[in-house]
Structure 1
Amino acid sequence: MFPQPIQKAGPLANISYRAALPFTIILWLLPLLAVMLTSLRSIEDINKGNYWGWPEEIHFVENYTQVFTSTAMGDYLLNSLMITIPAVMGAVALSTLAGFALAKYRFKANIWIFAMFIGGNFVPFQILMIPVRDLTITLGLYDTHWALIFFHVAFQAGFCTLFMRNFIVGIPDALIEAARVEGVKEWRIFTFIVLPLVRPALAALAVLVFTFIWNDYFWALVLVQSDDVRPVTAGLSSLQGQWLASWQFMSAGAVVAAIPPVMLFFAMQKHFIAGLTLGATK
């Protein structure tokens, strides 16, 4: 019924697996390697068509310094942090509260509200472009940090609530009922019983949502126009000039933009894996 480990498979399956795995890894890493090498090249090296070979001259310090001195990359990174951190905190906080209510409270509309959260995940976000843009203009939020913060909190709420609700359901009802019998308020039950038990799930969700919001490009173009508010994903496109593309600077900027999510993942790796595998042995 369940897939068997590759070690127990036949010789053909083992040989195919061992041959395909390194090939797939190399194929997946090639674009990343190309971007990293391009971030070290000079413009003359790129103009010669040396896209995949080793750079003739290593311009590590020059390119990465130029990204911050000649462009607004520092401001773009700061804008991304100002948008991503509040959006992650808001989405995780609201979804945890909603997940607790949907998991542990019994009321008539419970299943319908839960279905709405699930259904929201299947709505193509592209069709929301014009209504969301018009709404932000009407509310005076267009081209501000708050436009992206509010949108990401609202748009991530469906997935986050589904994620947290499924984890909180696994908490034994006896723990909550025992606290209620002792006269503990609902808010303290949520704070001192539920939250500590779902801490790995909160860490895993925070890493996932941080990555989703940090890497967003579509809504950064739709809801933001000026460099003062533009996050790093949209800011990278501004490094491309009208007549000449500075690929070495764009590649260096892309490497810099990828550092915060990678650092967050490694910092939260233990909790992230624990959150994804929580309850896997049940």
Structure 2
Amino acid sequence: MGEGGRARVDSELSEGTCRGDKGLLNTACKSVVPRSRRPPTYLRQYDCRPPPIVIPLLSTIQLVLFIYDGVRLGGITASGPVDPESPLIYSPYRRREVWRLLTYMLVHVGWVHIVYNLIVQLLVGLPLELVHKWWRVGIVYLCGVLAGSLATSVLDPRVFLAGASGGVYALLTAHLADLVLNWAEMEFAFVRLGILLLLAGTDVGVAIYNRYGTETGNKVAYTAHLAGALAGLLMGHVALRNLRLLRWERVLWWVSLVTYLLLVLVMVVFNAAAPEGYFPPQDV
């Protein structure tokens, strides 16, 4: 078979890798997979089974809980409702309830907060999950959530924490890192970079304004945004699928994993051994 024939077959195979919905997976692959990882020998290993699970499930739970809190607390506004007594929110006065280090991702502060997080995690998370599978994307997301709460407890120890921003930013920067590392092979790289930076910059700016520019009683942290972004940069290399791992990428894989684990360990130890008075007194 000549070069033209092989190219035509390769193209047909790459379009048909999604067994039942080739267009959906092909679009997802083009959005998150560089050209060098799209030959049929690689794309055959991608499929739509199982379909996205983590991002749709989390988004549904977050939306249902937000509506429930709005009804229970008497209304929804751009910056509310906020329930500091929620068993899910991270509270600096209940640090012994360690489940809050993760469950804060399920509750949000106002419709602006949840709408932004839902849009970004669906826009970025669904293509990632189609290509990389639910458990890989779940690892990145939860690593961002955990890094966000631990960093907040260490660097901003007297604020509440709510929202999925740690996980959302982990997805954003995991995608951003892959985009930058494979810049020459990604379609519309400048447009994608601009959109990602605009989304992230706008949200961080709003979070900082809400923290320092308003007079609300219970201040909510924005440190989780930055910590989640760092977690995504590190754990994106570790958890997301790479069918052709080069030598330097293997080194980067280990450096990223060890760096993330060391940072988490340092923050856990600090939480356990911080000097008296650093954290607020705990509710009994």
Pick the structure with greater CA Rg.
1
- Regarding TM over 0.5, the answer is no
Normalising to structure 1: TM-score of the pair? 0.25
Normalising to structure 2: TM-score of the pair? 0.25
Q: Which has the higher contact order (CA 8 A, sep 6+)?
A: 1
More helix by share: 1
